[in-house]
Structures are given as structure tokens and as C-alpha cells.
Amino acid sequence: MNIKKDILETIGYFSNFAYPPDFDEIYVFLRKKTSKNALKMAILSLERQNRIIVIQNPKFRINNATRYTLPEYSTIRHPSSAIKQLDNYELRITDSQKKLNNWRFRLFIRLISLFPQIKLVGLSGSVSMMNAKEGDDIDLFIITAKKRLFTGRFIAL
């Protein structure tokens, strides 16, 4: 098992969304499961080899979590683009919070939750990762009771 390759692929995937993952996000989204201790050791090794960069600027320690990025996205090689990417990340957190606090969204969730056909309403997509831009929509997945898919869909729509 090549855990270092999997770590780089996981961080690279997050980089496609201009989102620097923290340790827990890498652990959850890692292709092959491993212990947190083994992951920590592999991340430290990759740091020493300069294959990943730790975002150490306190301004970018969002939710007080250390975040990781690949060198091609780091402030070391491309300071202006990396800082812009991370500044935009702070803005995306704010935009995501606004979407979640919108009264229409909250009312919609409360209303459809009242129907027995609806068993679960889940949040997915960029808002669930607190990475939504202003124009992004809110993605939901809805689980309905057995044999109630179409009535649940009708209610949600």
C-alpha cells in the first residue's frame, strides 16, 4: 500500500476545488483506510520531502485546523495565486453560511421534514464542505420511506 501516493492524490483532488484539506478531511477521503498515526507519519514524511506544503499562516487556519496543499498551489511558488485561493476560501465559507442561514432554505427543510414519506434530508455538494461560491446552489439528497419514492419526490418538488 502506497499511502504517500494516496495522500498526494487526495490533496490533489481537493486542489481542483481550490480547497486546502485538513488532516481529518484527508483521513476521511483517503482511498485506502489507514490508522491516524500512520497517516500522520506519512504526512510528516511528505512535508520533509517538500511534496506537500503546510499552510502555516494563521490567517488561513480556518476552523483552527492546519491545512495542506501541493507545492504548485502553495504560497512558496505562487504567492499571489495561493493567497487569492485561500482568501477566496474564507469568502466561500461566509457564502456557505449565508446559504445555510437563508430563511427560505430553513423553511423548506422544516416543511418537508414534516411528511412521513421523507425519512432523511441530507446536505451535499459545495455547501456541505463550506466551499460554495455566491452563485452556487444548495444540493440535497433525500431518503424516502420504502415504496414512497414518487410521493416523496412530489412533496420535495
Residue range 48-104, pLDDT digits in tens: 999 998 876 555 555 667 888 888 765 444 445 555 555 577 788 888 889 999 999
Reduced 3-state DSSP string for the chain:
CCHHHHHHHHHHHHHCCCCCCEHHHHHHHCCCCCCHHHHHHHHHHHHHCCCCEEECCHHHCHHHCCEEECHHHCCCCCHHHHHHHHHHHHHHHHHHHHHHHCHHHHHHHHHHHCCCCEEEEEEEHHHHCCCCCCCCCCEEEEEECCCCHHHHHHHHC
- Tell me the mean pLDDT in the region 22-50: 93
Residue 150 has pLDDT above 80, yes or no: yes
- Tell me the mean pLDDT in the region 18-44: 91
pTM here is 0.64
pLDDT tens for 119-129 read 999 999 889 88
